[in-house]
Amino acid sequence: MEIKKILVANRGEIARRVIYTCKKLGKKTVAVYSEADKDLPFVQEADEAVCIGEPHPLKSYLNIPAIIEAAKKVGADAIHPGYGFLSERREFVKACETAGIIFIGPTAESMEVMGDKASARAFARKQGVPTPPGTEILNSPEEAEELAEKLSYPVLIKASAGGGGIGMVKVERREDIKRAFEQAKSRALSAFGDDRVYMEKYLESPHHIEIQVLGDGKGNIVTFPERECSVQRRHQKVIEESPSTFVDEELRKKIRESARKLLSALKYKNAGTVEFVVDKYKNFYFLEVNTRLQVEHPATEAITGFDLVEWQIRIAEGENLPKEEDIKINGWAIEARIYAEDPVKFFPSPGEIKKLVEPKCSKFYWNAENIRLDIGYKEGNKITPFYDPLIAKLIARGKTRDEAIENILKALEEMIIEGPKTNIPFLKEAISSELFRKGGYDTHFIPKLRGEEK
């Protein structure tokens, strides 16, 4: 079935990114936007645009009836959810199905299994995919204390319905377990409406490694080379690269096989990412599946030449998957997320972009220096407190890792954003550091960079 008109149920850089590929494929596009976003580039770049409500996400980008009504109004035959917001909400998938609209993403059933970390861990174990030593859902701080002793400290208390590091608390001493238990439950309830938490052993020198996949819904899965996502603040990724300096060919083969096995059993459809934590001995454990397109998907596109949004649409139209033997590593890619935030404390910094100078490249294209910029704003736009403070993603590729590093540092020097504070100074410091250049870093990268940890 050919899709002719796609409504993009998102905002900012990911909305522009999806619109770009739709135009490349000759598909008509529809933007939906909140009152706060009426002047953003994605609204102007779509063929049509519909205002769906007030700035607060619950009254706009999380308002399922308003988005479905907009799709019906403009005659869209498909919806692309981007990432975040409704992209992993099974009730949104079902609402699309009820309305006769194609959802460009996984099934509601896949989201149900993988959207809850406890059920996802159980499913992974059933398929023989290793999971970190841990517990089931914790019922009380007393139970947490008892089980933490068995696991041995440090441990992590995590939200079962969580994602993006929200609701995750590290505990190093018995006397802190009750406070951490209550804190994790409170954060989980606030963020996800679900206060269930569980516990995992905190692994030594952990690396965050993930595998991009595509599935056809019939059990056929293709996997892509890994992404290294260990540069994180507050358990959220800031810099990603592909491939990883830590992963050797044997480990790469094993984690790709595990990702394939897991999602084949699920009969997974469309794009997704299987996330793993790998210890310093290269033992790997399943963390979660993100049943959507990832923020860092351009790093994979950079080294493979595949347009992942295009493949999402092609799969939704019923086309066969690409052949895995055609997915090869060609060079190196580094992606840096540019946030409106204090570069030291990483607190959000909303405000008007008074001056914006982009690197010498076109958005979503690669220039002669192998630079790509996925950006959601233009000069004069405001970064509001209603949404994630991500301004842009800067991606560089090179024939070698050193070349990719030099390319992205040059582009970061060229990029100027005045008005809100940004993390560009941190990105330059991090990528130019000896710690990053030598590779093999783990999720303790930022504390080590700042001399807070040996």
The distance of Cα 429 from the centroid of its chain, to the nearest Å, equals 23
Whether residue 292 lies in the annotated active site:
yes
DSSP letter for 46, please. S
DSSP letter for 198, please. E
DSSP assignment of 327-394 equals ----SEEEEEEEESB-TTT--B--EE--EEE--SS-BTS--TT-EEEEE---TT-EE-TTS--EEEEE
The distance of Cα 81 from the centroid of its chain, to the nearest Å, equals 13
Contact assessment for residue 213 and residue 222, using Cβ atoms and an 8 Å cutoff: yes
Q: Which of 90, 252, 256, 292 is catalytic?
A: 292
Beta-strand relationship, 102-103 and 78-80: parallel
DSSP assignment of 57-123 equals GGGTTT-HHHHHHHHHHHT-SEEE--SSTTTT-HHHHHHHHHTT-EESS--HHHHHHHHSHHHHHHH
Which helix (H) or strand (E) segment is 277 a member of? strand 269-278
Beta-sheet strands, E only, within 376-447: 382-383, 390-398, 416-418
Say whether 244 sits in a helix, a strand or coil. Answer: coil
Residue matched to tokens 């205002």: 51
Contact assessment for residue 296 and residue 209, using Cβ atoms and an 8 Å cutoff: no
Residue matched to tokens 């498909």: 78
Residue matched to tokens 């070349």: 403
Active site residues: 292
